[in-house]
Chain A
Amino acid sequence: MKCCICGREAATDLCRYHTEAEEKVRNAYPLWVKAYGRIEWRDFLDNVKRNPQTGQWAKEIAEFLKGQ
């Protein structure tokens, strides 16, 4: 099976790297909610995608999750 983002070998629809990045993105969401008091999931993903500090794989995951 290939990763649906980068085409690397994968056990599920995401490779090891994108799976780890997905976990990081999901773990960050409650921290963002706490920081702002409230933020919608899709707004969070948009912000993560746009932020220049976000890593390449995390950005790709944010885009991927937005499309789901």
Chain B
Amino acid sequence: MLFERHSQLSGGYTLVLCEKPDAARGVSDALSGGKYRSEQVDGTTVFRFGRKGEEFVVCAAQGHVYGVSDPSAERTVYPVFDIEWYPSNLIDESSASAGRRISAVRKLAAGASKFVNACDLDVEGETIGYNLLRYACGGKEKSALRASFSTLTGEDLQRAFDNLRPQMGWESARAGRTRHAMDFVWGVNLSRALSQSALDSGNRYRTVSVGRVQGPTLHFLVERELEIREFVPVPHWKVSGRFERDGVKLTAGYARETLETKALAERIEQECVGREAVVVAAHRSIITVVPPAPFNIGDLQKEAYRAFGYTPSRTIQIAEKLYLGALISYPRTGSQKLPPSINYRNIIRGLGRIPEYSTHSAEILKLEPKPVQGVKSDAAHPAIHPTGEKPRGHLEASESAVFDLVVRRFLAAFGPSARRELAEATLAVGEHKFRLSGGRTVSPGWMKYYGRYAGYKNVELPLVSEGDRFRVTGVAAEEKFEQRPPRYNQSSLLEKMEKEGIGTKATRADTIATLVGRGYASGESMEVTDIGLSVVETMAKYAPSIISTELTREIEDKLEAIENGSGGDAELLRDTVRTVAGQLVELSANEAAVGREIDSALTATVAKSFVLGKCPVCKTGDLRIVRSKTTKKRFVGCSNYSDGCRASAPLPQKGSVKTTSRPCECCSWPVVLVLGGRSPWRLCVNPGCPGKARP
């Protein structure tokens, strides 16, 4: 009401649409110099202020407030090819706030004379802005202006609103809407087909989903899981020698690192021990190590995992928060480049006001700052960089950690190359050769700025020269076994997705989180569960296109073509419908078999989730979570109960209990993770565990 009255008096205001409430507040604060008024419209906070004689009203969505769905709203019906965009609250009851936000925008639009899309400058942001302008503002998508910025700092925002683009990114919005429509058609049909087959077969409903990117990603995990579960190690030997001369002791490995037979290893041992070794080659060299490229989102996610163990989805959430706090630039970028337009000096000077970085900042500013640039670029945003703003309030530990990582990586980009000395030597004992190598940093360069994240170790190598003679004081042949391939963790899986070209920088972390959420993979090492295995096996048998990396990559390329203005959305949607329909025919022709396989995997997965580990009492049974038929309380019991094993233990009755792979270090009984209420806590289920005894 207030805004309708105002618009009648003033002839309309400029309505600015932001993607998130924090961004709306940041934009208002920056453009008004802190002189804005916040008001409530339909339960949504909006901001009003004047700027250069113009009246502004800023309102925010909460991410996507419109989504794709089918008109039938019948959750079990498929195939579904007739789809529409709806307010998210009509699709999902838990999205009630979307309805309030749409209603607020609709009211505000009635009194606005000018519209500005100020959502994030990427495919998702264009899609959110487009949908609001089209559906809530009554077809204003064509006349709306676009504010383009990469940070929420006052300077950047003032510049963006002084130079509004005449129109929004049509192609990006078209690509975004096509992706949403296509992913809905893909996901809803196949997920319903699988869930319904399992329901018909086992009379139990559980969502068994398989999305367009999710399918091939799960396939990567399953391929690796099969390799691991079928793995048989083969023995080999490694030989190392110990050498001594005038008190100088060296240890060197045999030049051929892997010896296939025990006999050969033993022969080397016999032929070398007690003999003399001669240095036949000694070489030292200096190499230069250039600074690492500035962060794009994938690099930041991988580095945060390496440095702090944060999952990709956690890192992106933290980075998003730092962006909304105007501390770093927009994080969902593919760019590894820092253009001069971001004003290097200003940022570095700003960082100098933060005590931890003041020395580095002063050092860099002594010369003309010029950063190293990576190869990848992104037309919309530069690489992730700090804004130079000092954190105003308290940052949580995880936010401080990611902020520090971003700042140091940025500063490192301006550092000189580091210099490392590498040393190598070869010692000969008759026909046998041993090699040793070392390396040390002689000039840290950028490593000084990157600090503990640089990760180069110094392994000193004593000075040796050609012709030096050493006594062989010992030779050891060690039996080794081939290591099985490592499981993917969330970071290496993200890297694999990037390498294979599936998913987008904005969605890969969510895809991985969905695989965990659906129970297809568990634990830090992403171990595939029976149901994950079964979904891929079923797809491979009856609907192979669904887990095909090639098809998914091809679709990504077509989406990119739409975004670049050279591809057709209708054609891609038609192809999608054709592919999905074809696969549904196959699935429905084999519905009974599909249902049986999925249901039996569901049963196995559920059963395994109750098994805590081997029974330490009878040594043959499994300790499981059991619910008492009389008291209905849960406790731990042994699967050999009927054979006489009475191992049992109480469990907390509140919260959920998850199994862990590590047994108790004190008593080797299983340890469970108890979730709910407070922070998660680990509990050894053995009531008599010596580790629980009070000191």
Contact = CB atoms under 8 A, between A and B. Distances in A.
Interface in B458-497: 481-484
A28 B234 CA distance: 7
Contacts of B235: 32, 35-36
A17 B261 CA distance: 30
B506 to A, nearest CB: 36
A34 B260 contact: yes
Nearest to B232: A28
A58 interface: yes
Interface residues of B, number: 22
B231 A58 contact: yes
A32 to B, nearest CB: 7
Contacts of B261: 34-37
Contacts of B263: 37
A68 interface: no
A68 B226 CA distance: 25
Contacts, number: 64
B283 interface: no
Given A51-B481, A53-B481, A53-B484, A35 B229 contact: no
B226 to A, nearest CB: 7
B54 interface: no
A20 B229 CA distance: 10
Contacts of B227: 55
Nearest to A21: B230
A31 to B, nearest CB: 5
Contact of B230 (A20, A32, A35): A20
Contacts of B600: 7-8
Interface string A26-68: 0110011011110000000000100101111110000000000
B535 to A, nearest CB: 14
A51 B482 CA distance: 11
Interface of A: 7-9, 17, 20-21, 24-25, 27-28, 31-32, 34-37, 48, 51, 53-58
A25 B229 CA distance: 12
B230 A17 contact: yes
B262 A54 contact: no
Nearest to A36: B262
12 contacts: A20-B230, A34-B261, A35-B260, A35-B261, A36-B261, A36-B262, A37-B263, A54-B484, A55-B230, A55-B231, A56-B229, A58-B231
B202 to A, nearest CB: 15
A51 to B, nearest CB: 6
A49 B236 CA distance: 18
With most chain B CB atoms within 10 A of its CB, the pick from A8, A17, A56 is A8
A17 B657 CA distance: 31
A53 B486 CA distance: 11
Interface string B210-246: 0000000000000000111111111110000000000
A21 B233 contact: no
A28 B230 CA distance: 11
A25 B232 contact: yes
Contacts of B230: 17, 20-21, 24, 55, 57-58
